[in-house]
């Protein structure tokens, strides 16, 4: 499924909504934060959709935002159900 990116920088500096299907993520590239919510962020996106600008798929901004988003996701440490990894002491 293709990701849709919406420019939210008029309201929040360096912020973009990324929508993939029903899931909506708010990414702040300046502070390097990703906000994910099951319902409330999607509702907020629907209410503030008129303040966003759609970023076309073939634009340089789309490629840059998507690349930085993937870099941020790659740096996340996600604990697993076996409680092994960097977050847990042996």
Total structural domains in the chain? Answer: 1
43: in domain: yes
The 3-state DSSP class for residue 24 equals strand
Supply the pLDDT for residue 17: 93
Task: Render each residue's pLDDT in the chain as its tens digit; 90 residues.
Answer: 688 999 999 889 999 999 988 888 999 999 999 998 778 888 888 888 788 899 999 999 999 999 999 999 888 776 666 665 555 555
Strands (E), 1-90: 4-7, 15-20, 23-28, 33-36, 53-55
Supply the pLDDT for residue 84: 57
Cα–Cα dist 54/66, whole Å: 14
53: in domain: yes
Domain that holds residue 9: 4-74
Supply the pLDDT for residue 41: 84
66: in domain: yes
């Amino acid at each position: 499924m293709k990701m849709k990116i919406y420019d939210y920088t008029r309201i929040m500096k360096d912020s973009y909504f990324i929508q993939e299907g029903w899931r909506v993520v708010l990414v702040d590239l300046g502070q390097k934060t990703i906000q994910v919510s099951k319902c409330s962020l999607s509702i907020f996106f629907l209410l503030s959709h008129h303040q966003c600008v759609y970023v076309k798929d073939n634009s340089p901004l789309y490629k840059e935002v998507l690349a930085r988003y993937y870099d941020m996701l790659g740096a996340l440490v996600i604990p697993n159900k076996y409680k092994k990894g960097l977050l847990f002491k042996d």
